Amino acid sequence: MKEYKTINEIAGPLVFVQGVSGVSYNEMVDITLSNGERRRGQVLDVSDKVAVVQVFGATSGIDPKGSSVRFLGETMTIGLSPDMLGRIFDGLGRPRDKGPQIIAKEKVDVNGLPINPFSREPPEDFIQTGVSTIDAMNTLVRGQKLPIFSASGLPHNQLAVQIARQAKVRKEGESFAVVFAAVGITHEEASYFMRDFEKTGALENAVLFLNLADDPSVERLITPRLALSTAEYLAYEQGMHVLVIITDMTNYCEALREISSARQEVPGRRGYPGYMYTDLSTIYERAGRIKGSTGTVTQFPILTMPGDDKTHPIPDLTGYITEGQIILSRDIHRKGIYPPVDVLPSLSRLMNSGIGPEKTREDHKGVSDQLYAGYAGGRDLRALSAVVGEEALTEVDRKYLKFADAFEDRFVRQGQYEDRSIEQTLDLAWELLSMIPEAELKRVKREYIEKYGKRFRKD
C-alpha cells in the first residue's frame, strides 16, 4: 500500500498530492488527518508528478504537513448480498440502522458498465401504480426511466411513497423490490420515507441509501450509483423486478456543479459542467431489461425544477435522457388536488408498448387520447371564456369546460391511500367522457364506446 505525506495544495474538495507513482485513475484514497480522523477520496486526475484527489466529506482539518494519503489500488466498490433487503445504509453504503455489516457475496464497481444496446430487450410490461393519471395517460413500463418533475412545496414525496407502496405487475409469483436513494434531502423528509416504509411493511422488500442534506455533498455523486449497483444485482443476479426511486436529482446536479467549479472547469449553461448530460446518462441509462435475465430495473427519479422552470438545465437534460416525464403543477396543487399531475405536458414514451389487450384493456389507447383531447380542449376554452365570458361559448364548448373541471376533480384527484386498478381508472374515464356528446368522441373506436362507454351515457 502506497502512503504519502506530500499534500501541497488543498482547494475546496480537492487535494493535490505530489511525487506519487503507481496511482491509477479513479482509484480510492484514504486520508488520515493528524488527529487520527479519516476521510475518503477518489483520484480525479493523475500524472507522473501529481495526483488530484476529490475528497468525500469536508476538507476542513486536512493539513498539508500532518495528513497522510493512502492509495487503495481499487475503484469505488460496493459489496452486495440479498441480505441488503430490509436494510438502511448511509450515502456511502455503511449501515445506518444499527444492524450488522453486510457480508458481501459479490463486489462491484459502483459506476457499473454500459448495457450493450444489442443486449437490451424492449420494455413492454405494464406496471400498475394505482394512480389514475399515471396508469391511464402516462403508463409506466418495466425497464423504463420515468422521472417526476416537481417543484419545491409540491407533494412529490407523498406521490413517490404512494407509488413505491402500490406499484405492482399483474402477474403471479414475481418478486418485487424497491431501492430507494435519498440524495441531499432533509432529516425530516428522510424520516417520512422511513416511517412510511416501516408502517406499511414495504421496508421488508426495500433497500434504503440515505445521503442527507448535512452529509458531504461529494457523497451525493456516489449515493445514486450505490443504489443502482444494488438494483442491478437484485435484478440481474437475483431475478427481481426492482423499482429505483432517487430523490432529489436536483441536489445531485448541485453537487456536480460544486465539484466542477472546485476543479476550475469551463462551465456550461448556468454554471453546470458541460458533461452533465453524459454524467446523468450514466445514472438514468442504468434502467432496462436485458436478454436472458428475468429481473428488470425501473427508475423513478424525482427532481425539483428550480423556479418551476422546465427549461432549466437539470429538468432539460433529464428530459432528453429519460423516457418521458410526469410533471406536477403548482396551479393544480393550489386547487387542493392531490396528486397535482399536469397530464398535458407529461408523457410516457414507452406507454404504447405497455398497454392494450392482454396487458391492460383494448380501449386503453383510445380512452387516453380522448381524455387528452377533451382536457386540452377544455383548458383552451377556460382561457377563452375568461376573455369572452362563458355565455359566448357554444353549448358543446360549455360541456368541454365542465368536463375539464370534472376531470381534475375526480380523475386527477385521488387519496394518498387510494389504489385504483386499471379497470377502475378506465371506467372512471368513460364515466367522465359521458359528459361530452358522443359525436365528439373521435379518438375512440365506435365499438369500444358501445362496449365500455354506453352504460355510463345518459343520451
Partner 1 sequence: MMAKTKKSKKGYIQRISGPVVEGRDLEGARLYDVVKVGKEGLIGEIIKIVSGTYVIQVYEDTTGLQPGEPVESTGEPLSVELGPGLLKNIYDGIQRPLAFIEKESGAFIKRGITVSPLDRKIKWEFKPKMKKGDKVKVGDILGTVQETDLVEHKIISPYEGKLDDLKKGKFTIDEVIGNVSSEGKKHELYLTQKWVVRKPRMYIEKFPPTIPLVTGQRIIDTFSPIAKGGTACIPGPFGSGKTVTQQSLAKYSDTQIVVYIGCGERGNEMTDVLTEFPELVDPNSGKPLMERTVLIANTSNMPVAAREASVYTGITIAEYYRDQGYDVALMADSTSRWAEAMREIGGRLEEMPGEEGYPAYLARRLAEFYERAGRVRCLGSDERYGSVTIIGAVSPPGGDISEPVSQNTLRVTKVFLALDSSLAQRRHFPAINWLKSYSLYLESLEDWYAENVSSDFPKLRSEAMALLQKEAELQEIVQLVGPDALPEKEQAILLVTKMLREDFLQQNAYSDVDARASLEKQYNMLKTIMNFHNKTMSSIDLGAQLKRIKEMDAVVKIGRMKEISNENVKEFGRLNSDMGAEFDSLLKK
Give the bridge partners for 112, in sequence order.
Answer: none
The answer to the question of residue 262 lying near partner 1 (CB under 8 A) is: no
Q: Is 281 exposed, middle or buried (0-12, 13-18, 19+ CB in 10 A)?
A: middle
Cα 105 to the center of its chain, rounded Å:
27
Q: Write out the three cell numbers for 343.
A: 397530464
The answer to the question of residue 117 lying near partner 1 (CB under 8 A) is: yes
66/274 with CB nearer partner 1: 274
Q: Interacting stretch for partner 1, rule CB under 8 A, among 10-18, 106-114, 296-304, 328-336?
A: 106-114
How far, in Å, CA of 418 to CA of 109, rounded?
40
Q: Interacting stretch for partner 1, rule CB under 8 A, among 62-70, 99-107, 195-203, 286-294?
A: 286-294
Give the bridge partners for 4, in sequence order.
Answer: 69
Whole-number minimum distance, CB 260 to partner 1, in Å? 10
Only one residue has cell 468525500, namely 56
Interface positions, 377-416, toward partner 1 (CB under 8 A): 384, 387-388, 392-393
Interface positions, 195-234, toward partner 1 (CB under 8 A): none
- Give the one residue of 189, 285, 405, 419 binding partner 1; rule: CB under 8 A: 285
The answer to the question of residue 47 lying near partner 1 (CB under 8 A) is: yes
Q: Interacting stretch for partner 1, rule CB under 8 A, among 157-165, 166-174, 201-209, 320-328?
A: 320-328
Instruction: Tell me how far apart the terminal alpha carbons of the chain are, to the nearest angstrom.
Output: 82
The answer to the question of residue 291 lying near partner 1 (CB under 8 A) is: yes
| Run of H or E including 28 | strand 27-32
- Give the one residue of 104, 262, 290, 337 binding partner 1; rule: CB under 8 A: 290
How far, in Å, CA of 168 to CA of 245, rounded?
15
Q: Interacting stretch for partner 1, rule CB under 8 A, among 53-61, 96-104, 204-212, 266-274?
A: 266-274
Interface positions, 438-457, toward partner 1 (CB under 8 A): 442
150/298 with CB nearer partner 1: 298
Answer yes or no: are the C-beta atoms of 206 and 197 closer than 8 Å. yes
Q: Is the dihedral of CA 117, 303, 160, 404 positive or negative?
A: negative
Phi, psi of 197 (to 5 degrees): -60, -40
Interface positions, 147-186, toward partner 1 (CB under 8 A): none
Whole-number minimum distance, CB 337 to partner 1, in Å? 20
Interface positions, 73-92, toward partner 1 (CB under 8 A): 75
Q: Write out the three cell numbers for 423.
A: 379497470
The answer to the question of residue 11 lying near partner 1 (CB under 8 A) is: no
Question: At 441, is the secondary structure helix, strand, or coil?
Answer: coil
